[in-house]
Structure 1
Amino acid sequence: MSDSNKQKIVASVPQQGFFGHPKGLFTLFFTEFWERFSYYGMRAILVFYMYYEVSKGGLGLDETTALAIMSIYGSLVYMSGIIGGWLADRIFGTSKAVFYGGILIMFGHIALAIPGNLTMFFVSMVLIVLGTGLLKPNVSSIVGDIYSEEDNRRDAGFSIFYMGINLGGFLAPLIVGTVGMKYNFHLGFGIAAVGMFLGLLVFIFTKKKNLGLAGTFVANPLSPAEKKKVFTLIGVGAALIAVLIAIAIPMDLLTFDSFIALVGILGIVIPVIYFIVMYRSPKTTAIERSRVIAYIPLFIASVMFWAIQEQGSTILANYADKRTQLDFAGIHLSPAWFQSLNPLFIILFAPVFAWLWVKLGSRQPSIPKKFSLGLLFAGLSYIVILLPAYLGGNDSLVNPLWLVLSYLIVVFGELCLSPVGLSATTKLAPAAFSAQTMSLWFLSNAAAQAINAQIVKFYTPETEMMYFGVIGGAAIFLGILLFALSPKIEGYMKGVK
């Protein structure tokens, strides 16, 4: 997108009206709030739905398989952002991508709400994966569009936006989780569908007044000749994939294990290809190439961080269900409620971190140093959760406060890394790849969960000390290394603070 178009967008957006920020932040805040309500509500009960017995309303899958599928699901959700970013950059812009994505997500939750079998589960997976790929990276890109590049409110704006995400994430497990676990899984999924519908209503009825031109420009549009070629390739590719699947399944070549391995490979290969394409593109300037190089270690750090954080919905969800004392202080806790801890702590501490970055101003840690702090906190969260087994063995139920403390520590890391990473992505992105670079940021989460799908099989109550210790120690080591390399990385950022 050209600088003149960026200026037109900023000029079209009312720059005051939502806690001292552009009015468009209201629309994006509540659209993402309801989308995250639907997604995290579904995710709070999904792993239990997969491995609970059929007699309890579940699918009756093997526990290890359910944990791996959960990680692959998360990986594909973020990996599909490639498609959403490309479509926004090349065909219809970010605003339409958000709308179409919301429609697909809503129907995906409706599919889960229909009592059925494994087939309906996989139908919902496809719809939610594609819908989230369209919506999530592009709604974040629009947040970047409503601020000028010199606006000091940008990082704080992303922190507020991030708080909206987590407000939805906090309420969803309490509401959807309670209904799904206590009454009926499908009724819980139905509530998630209603949440996405409300998000669509907010977006449709407020975008014209609040967002102005934000999301309406196509950053790098296809020419008519390119469109014809691309649509032909898409059609041929889809047909080829369908034929390969039809052949591979009867021959037992496409199984859960082989699919998990394939996604794991794609989770690493696709980001590598993206970096190469952006770096070598003639549309990328010399300064932008330097910034792409600076982005690589940040991406790697993000993968390590999300590998720990995203296990909150797999390993730690299973830990809450199987290893935690759920009768506590006269209350019977639902294992789904622990999924609210991460967003609850972000709601409480996001304003503190937003205030801190503004208060420090030019004295605040650089972007690479904030990332290194994020990794250190993530590693410490896993060191904490191995202590109960060390102190009391692995055959007794654990006080739930250990889980609370682990979630709290990783949240401190998340607030150092995630909203800062969103903001850094909008700053470091080559102009011709603005939405696609945001998709690349979410690919770090996809890569992390693709890796998780391989390593969750090593977790058992007997191996939990080694499991948490090795992963937590690796994060701490990488955080220290990144801190040491920060001055070098800052040099490649070419003026981006």
Structure 2
Amino acid sequence: MSNMDKEKIVQSVPQTGFFGHPKGLFTLFFTEFWERFSYYGMRAILVYFMYYEVTAGGLGLPQDIALAIMSIYGSLVYMSGIIGGWLADQVIGTSRAVFYGGVLIMMGHIFLAIPGNIALFFISMVLIVLGTGLLKPNVSSQVGEIYSEQDNRRDAGFSIFYMGINLGSFLSPLIIGTVGMKNFHLGFGLAGVGMFIGLILYVTTRKKNLGLAGTSVVNPLSSKEKKKVFTKIGIGIVVIGVLIAIAIPLGILTFDTFIKLVGVLGILIPTLYFVSMYRSPKTTAVERSRLIAYIPLFIAAIMFWAIQEQGATILANYADKRTQLDFAGIHISPAWFQSLNPLFIITLAPVFAWIWMKLGHRQPTIPQKFSLGLLFAGLSFLIILLPAYFGGANSLVNPLWLVLSYFVVVIGELCLSPVGLSATTKLAPAAFSAQTMSLWFLSNAAAQAINAQIVKFYTPETEMMYFGVIGGAALVLSLLLFILTPKIQSYMKGIK
């Protein structure tokens, strides 16, 4: 997209109307708020829905399978963002991608809200994965489009937008979690209503508030290219469908083999990204050096997200089965603990922004901040093994232990996640800037794909060893990264 086209889009957007920001930020803020409300509300009760007995309204799946499916689901959500970004850039534009994504997400929640069988459950998962892949990366792209590149409100606008994400993530487990733990299908229905509200708001306000933002296709395919690409996609879908239809009755495709397949893809896809960018003639020698520096940061990010994302699997199960839920005169829903992460981020993010600004040139380097992120992630797992060490594996745990674990991992997240986004933009080869950002999100996909393989080792009997081994591994990797910081920094070629 040329600078002239970008400026034309900016001029089509009313530039005041939402806390001094473009009016379009109102539309995008609340669209993302409701999408996150629906997603995190559904996620807060999903693992319980899977392993609770049928008599309690659940699917009655084995607990280890439910935890693995939860991780696979999270991995596929991040992988699908690649498809959503490609479709928006080359076929339908970001505006239609957001709308179609919202419709698919809403339909997925509707299927979950219908009492039924395992088939309906998997249909809903496919719809939500595809819908989130379409909506999430493209609604963020539109935020960038409504500001000119010189607009000094731009960073603040993204901060406000990020606040919308966390507000939706914070409120939904409290509301949907409370209702959903009493009636799963009613909870999923509320998540669907949330997405419906977001869609209505987006459709009714986008023309007036967003102008031309999201309407253009950045790198459109020609008619001939479209025909060729969609023919290949169609053939691929048919072949995959036939293989699945053959493999399931023969017992070749099972939960276990599918989990292993996604695990392989979680590592293979980012590896292919690295190799293709490194070997590309469009990548300069300096950019190749920076890509090498990015690899240990990417590995560290995988380790971090592998721990952080278990807040929705292992720690969610821990909240349900190992935590004293009658505390200080109130009964705590296990789903409420899912609100802790966004609550702590909302509270602590301004503090960390102030700390980095106050330190200025004295602040830690990028690898050192990643090392700190891993340190706190590892400590969060070591903290949660202490109750079993002191009180045994059969006693119910004070909920404050779980609160402390979530708090410590959020400190790590604020050391690593925003820094990772910034480092990605700095270290990315110029010809692959957008794809490198997709690569950063694949660190989360890889982490959850790995989690799907390891959560099956968690049992009450192995609890201390599970948390100890994973937490200890994070601490070792943190120390290694800290030691290698000067070497990594030398490969960054001037980036600090």
Per the normalisation by structure 2, the TM-score is 0.91
Shift of 1:478: 2.0
2-structure distance, mates of 1:151, 1:375: 35
Q: Which residue of 2 aligns with 1:38?
A: 38
Residue deviations 1:157-181, cap 9 Å, x none? Answer: 5444333212111111111111111
2-structure distance, mates of 1:25, 1:33: 12
- Secondary structure of 1:221's aligned partner: coil
Q: Which residue of 2 aligns with 1:337?
A: 336
User: Per the alignment, do residues 94 and 432 of structure 1 end up closer, same or farther by CA in structure 2, a change over 3 Å counting?
Assistant: farther
Q: Which residue of 2 aligns with 1:262?
A: 261
Confirm whether residue 414 of structure 1 aligns to residue 397 of structure 2. no
User: Per the alignment, do residues 299 and 270 of structure 1 end up closer, same or farther by CA in structure 2, a change over 3 Å counting?
Assistant: same
Pairwise CA RMSD: 2.7
- Secondary structure of 2:249's aligned partner: coil
1-structure distance, mates of 2:137, 2:424: 11
User: Per the alignment, do residues 487 and 436 of structure 1 end up closer, same or farther by CA in structure 2, a change over 3 Å counting?
Assistant: same
Shift of 1:470: 1.3
Shift of 1:18: 5.1
Q: Which residue of 2 aligns with 1:386?
A: 385
Confirm whether residue 89 of structure 1 aligns to residue 119 of structure 2. no
- Secondary structure of 1:61's aligned partner: coil
Q: Which residue of 1 aligns with 2:302?
A: 303
Shift of 1:42: 0.5
User: Per the alignment, do residues 486 and 9 of structure 1 end up closer, same or farther by CA in structure 2, a change over 3 Å counting?
Assistant: farther
User: Per the alignment, do residues 347 and 158 of structure 1 end up closer, same or farther by CA in structure 2, a change over 3 Å counting?
Assistant: same
User: Per the alignment, do residues 362 and 14 of structure 1 end up closer, same or farther by CA in structure 2, a change over 3 Å counting?
Assistant: farther
Q: Which residue of 2 aligns with 1:62?
A: 62
Q: Which residue of 1 aligns with 2:74?
A: 74
Q: Which residue of 2 aligns with 1:400?
A: 399
2:366 maps to a residue whose letter is I
Q: Which residue of 1 aligns with 2:273?
A: 274
Structure 2 gap ranges (5+): none
- Secondary structure of 1:74's aligned partner: helix
Matches within 5 A, 1:99-114: 99-114=99-114
User: Per the alignment, do residues 363 and 95 of structure 1 end up closer, same or farther by CA in structure 2, a change over 3 Å counting?
Assistant: farther
User: Per the alignment, do residues 489 and 252 of structure 1 end up closer, same or farther by CA in structure 2, a change over 3 Å counting?
Assistant: same
2-structure distance, mates of 1:259, 1:486: 37
Judge conservation of contact 1:386–1:469 (CA < 8 Å) in 2: yes
Q: Which residue of 2 aligns with 1:203?
A: 202
1-structure distance, mates of 2:86, 2:65: 32
2-structure distance, mates of 1:320, 1:16: 45
2:35 maps to a residue whose letter is E
Q: Which residue of 2 aligns with 1:130?
A: 130
User: Per the alignment, do residues 154 and 247 of structure 1 end up closer, same or farther by CA in structure 2, a change over 3 Å counting?
Assistant: same
User: Per the alignment, do residues 139 and 115 of structure 1 end up closer, same or farther by CA in structure 2, a change over 3 Å counting?
Assistant: same
Q: Which residue of 2 aligns with 1:323?
A: 322
**226-235 or 198-207: bigger deviation:** 198-207
Shift of 1:243: 0.5
Shift of 1:347: 1.8
1-structure distance, mates of 2:296, 2:401: 32
User: Per the alignment, do residues 457 and 107 of structure 1 end up closer, same or farther by CA in structure 2, a change over 3 Å counting?
Assistant: same
User: Per the alignment, do residues 177 and 255 of structure 1 end up closer, same or farther by CA in structure 2, a change over 3 Å counting?
Assistant: same
**70-79 or 357-366: bigger deviation:** 357-366
1:171 maps to a residue whose letter is L
Judge conservation of contact 1:49–1:57 (CA < 8 Å) in 2: yes
User: Per the alignment, do residues 428 and 11 of structure 1 end up closer, same or farther by CA in structure 2, a change over 3 Å counting?
Assistant: farther
Judge conservation of contact 1:181–1:334 (CA < 8 Å) in 2: yes
2-structure distance, mates of 1:228, 1:180: 45
**162-171 or 17-26: bigger deviation:** 17-26
- Secondary structure of 1:60's aligned partner: coil
- Secondary structure of 1:49's aligned partner: helix
User: Per the alignment, do residues 370 and 27 of structure 1 end up closer, same or farther by CA in structure 2, a change over 3 Å counting?
Assistant: farther
Shift of 1:132: 0.8
Judge conservation of contact 1:6–1:145 (CA < 8 Å) in 2: yes
Q: Which residue of 1 aligns with 2:168?
A: 168
1-structure distance, mates of 2:382, 2:429: 38
- More relative contact order in 1 or in 2 (CA 8 Å, sep 6+)? 1
Q: Which residue of 2 aligns with 1:228?
A: 227
Confirm whether residue 180 of structure 1 aligns to residue 180 of structure 2. yes
Matches within 5 A, 1:472-491: 472-490=471-489
2-structure distance, mates of 1:328, 1:449: 32
2:133 maps to a residue whose letter is G
Judge conservation of contact 1:104–1:131 (CA < 8 Å) in 2: yes
**487-496 or 338-347: bigger deviation:** 487-496
Shift of 1:465: 1.2
2-structure distance, mates of 1:380, 1:212: 48
Judge conservation of contact 1:85–1:435 (CA < 8 Å) in 2: no
Residue deviations 1:305-354, cap 9 Å, x none? Answer: 11011101110011011111111111111111111111111122223233
Q: Which residue of 2 aligns with 1:353?
A: 352
1-structure distance, mates of 2:415, 2:373: 5
Q: Which residue of 2 aligns with 1:376?
A: 375
Judge conservation of contact 1:278–1:284 (CA < 8 Å) in 2: yes
User: Per the alignment, do residues 173 and 248 of structure 1 end up closer, same or farther by CA in structure 2, a change over 3 Å counting?
Assistant: same
1-structure distance, mates of 2:287, 2:91: 23
1-structure distance, mates of 2:5, 2:366: 27
User: Per the alignment, do residues 339 and 99 of structure 1 end up closer, same or farther by CA in structure 2, a change over 3 Å counting?
Assistant: same
Residue deviations 1:93-141, cap 9 Å, x none? Answer: 3333222211111111111011111111011011001011111222333
Residue deviations 1:279-313, cap 9 Å, x none? Answer: 33455556554544443333222211110111011
1:178 maps to a residue whose letter is T
2-structure distance, mates of 1:153, 1:300: 33
User: Per the alignment, do residues 72 and 53 of structure 1 end up closer, same or farther by CA in structure 2, a change over 3 Å counting?
Assistant: same
1-structure distance, mates of 2:50, 2:159: 34
2-structure distance, mates of 1:411, 1:246: 43
2-structure distance, mates of 1:411, 1:480: 19
2:62 maps to a residue whose letter is D
1-structure distance, mates of 2:311, 2:386: 17
1-structure distance, mates of 2:194, 2:170: 13
**453-462 or 433-442: bigger deviation:** 433-442
Q: Which residue of 2 aligns with 1:115?
A: 115
2-structure distance, mates of 1:391, 1:2: 63
- Secondary structure of 2:122's aligned partner: helix
Residue deviations 1:206-253, cap 9 Å, x none? Answer: 444554554444443333332222111101100100010010001000
State, as a whole percentage, how many aligned pairs show the same letter. 81
1:189 maps to a residue whose letter is F
Judge conservation of contact 1:141–1:426 (CA < 8 Å) in 2: no
2-structure distance, mates of 1:3, 1:478: 43
Shift of 1:363: 4.9
